Amino acid sequence: MSKMRAVDAAVAVLKKEGINNAFGVPGAAINPFYSAMEAGGGIEHHLARHVEGASHMAEGYTRAKPGNIGVCVGTSGPAGTDMITGLYSAIADSIPILCITGQAPRDKLHKEDFQAVDIEKIAEGVTKWSVTVREPALVPRVFQKAFHLMRSSRPGPVLIDLPIDVQLAEIEFDIDSYEPMPVYKPKATKAQIEKALTMLNEAERPLIVSGGGVINADASEKLQEFAEIMGIPVIPTLMGWGTIPDDHPLMAGMVGLQTSHRYGNATMLASDFVFGIGNRWANRHTGSVNVYTKDRKFVHIDIEPTQIGRVFEPDYGIVSDAGVALELLVEQAKDWKSKGILKDRSNWVLECRERKTSTSMLRKTNFDDDKAKIKPQRVYAEMNNAFGKDACYVTTIGLSQIAGAQFLHVYKPRHWINCGQAGPLGWTVPAALGVCVADPERQVVALSGDYDFQFMIEELAVGAQFKLPYIHILVNNSYLGLIRQAQRGFEMDYGKMDYGVQLAFDNIHTEQDSEIHGYGVDHVAVVEGLGCKAIRVSKPGDIAGALNLAQEWMQKYTVPVVVEIILEKVTNIAMGTEIDNITEHEDLAENISDAPTAIAFDKDYLDKEFEDKVS
């Protein structure tokens, strides 16, 4: 045992728990903790420009790699309240991040001291645990418990609030003998797996729905192996996109009201059984329960007991970590296959693949009139061509995210990094920076609409200061596009709304620039003022060259490079009220050669892959 400040013990625990990076903004009430980080060494700090930005950087850091836990740090009062949005986004998607805040001295907590707020109570609803540490000797054990909670069962965030006198107090603590607490994960039993597999094997047209829990469990390879042994198509959720590559013959498309493929919805409607793993039946995936569940049975496997039956009652539910369940499922499926018990579903798989490659199920991307304003569909087609299979896309919400999910391709887990439930505007820039810190070699491509981009644009300076290069695609239509489309979808007594959603204004500094005149903010000027690089494109034929140049600049200057693409102001993106009632606003692809990036993959290729992987 040795004497040390409580904050020194806290930082020592962080290092023992594998923490090497932190994102934050220092202040008077958290300065002792910063002094411990400086003295202890081994934790690299990235200075955010906004404390909410620090929380989203921590999210991006966690989401990028298995086992990561992002740490965000702020002072008392508004720093904690600023990070609430990040905590909400994290808990909504089962993402563990640790938020550390400073606090007024203990004897001032109820005396309306400067920047003293009850952050413990404020954060209760958006964390697995929120605690103000009132005894110095508890500090190292509170941090130990925090990591145990963040990693156990359904992952999620924790907030630790440290009064300044608690931080500075001396305690006895032996860091040399410290060990992280064992992580608890619920495990399916063999009997449960046999029952679920029996039900699945009895179905004629089954699907596997793969959710974000599969990614959290680092079990994507097991998911693919299970699907291949069974010969069953897979529908990834938005949070599970990448658990099976888009070019896999059993990848059947995504389902939903917005971020979906036409062939994915059609396949879901044609199915008779759904086997959900690590998913939560989010409403943008299901639409109404009646339509989604009609004429099909369900098995649901999830790590959180209260998720089973929360949205609708499955025919059978299992509480288990997705990785553990998949290990048992693979083992049992192999045994049954060797005994000839498994059904041959090659006809059902062929039917799903035919939908995936049919031009009647594909949305048009080949808009190439260089005299016209750019349509967003063309942008995503060009992105597929430019960035390839290693691209890691980071995005949040809006028409840009919805269209991105409809047209982009994802091939690896943790290469579609998206805040699925909360969807806070401004999330994309800081989250992308967090991914860059977690994996400096990764090809990070962020995607924003103009309003998302403007929310936390100041965080680009972090990328410039700390040399965090990535490419940011900014699609600019000078509208709150998703809200505008929703408003115009409502018929009212006075017609369709278009109120409070226009971002355009006449910028006197851009009057001579015909590309953006009437679009308002000069994003290129702002980006360059923040120390980054920017390219503007206003013609369809220039997109490919701009994306190539952006990749060159990213390597040359080692800073974020923004490619602003000026879109036509109004383009409606396919979406609807039910998975069987999606409004398609644009023409379909005329043929395969016209829209190679809209078509998931060539049928001959998929047939060959199916023979290699499944037979």
- Residue of 84, 131, 299, 425 with catalytic role: 425
- Is residue 51 flagged as an active site residue? yes
Instruction: Out of 308, 483, 549, 588, pick the active-site residue.
Output: 483
Assess whether 329 carries a catalytic annotation. Answer: no
| Max CA separation in the chain (angstroms) | 76
For residue 322, the SS3 value is helix
Which is it for the CA torsion 453, 457, 459, 462, positive or negative?
A: positive
- Does 483 qualify as catalytic in the annotation? yes
User: Helices in 372-415 by DSSP H: which ranges?
Assistant: 376-387, 399-407
CA atoms within 13 A on the CB side of 260: 30
The answer to whether 319 touches 309, Cβ cutoff 8 Å, is no
Active site residue 474: no
User: What are residue 160's phi and psi, to 5 degrees?
Assistant: -115, 120
- The DSSP bridge partners found for residue 298 are 274
What residues form DSSP beta bridges with 124? Answer: none
In the 8-state DSSP scheme, what is residue 99? E
Which residues make Cβ contacts (< 8 Å) with residue 88, sequence separation at least 6?
Answer: 126, 422, 424
Of 209, 527, 581, 544, residue with least CA distance to 386? 544
In 130-258, which ranges are continuous DSSP H helix? 139-151, 164-168, 190-202, 212-216, 220-230
Which residue is catalytic, options 13, 30, 51, 330? 51
DSSP state of 176: G
Catalytic hit among 14, 19, 25, 394: 25
Is residue 517 within 8 A of residue 504, CB to CB? The reply is no
Q: How far is CA 244 from CA 208, 391, 447, in A?
A: 11, 15, 22
Buried/exposed code over 273-296 (b: 16+ C-beta within 10 A; e: otherwise)? bbbbbbbbbbebbbbeeeebbeeb
Which entry of 160, 429, 480, 524 is annotated as an active-site residue? Answer: 480
**Residue 348 CB contacts under 8 Å (≥ 6 apart), including other chains:** 204, 205, 206, 233
Active site (catalytic) residues: 25, 51, 425, 480, 483
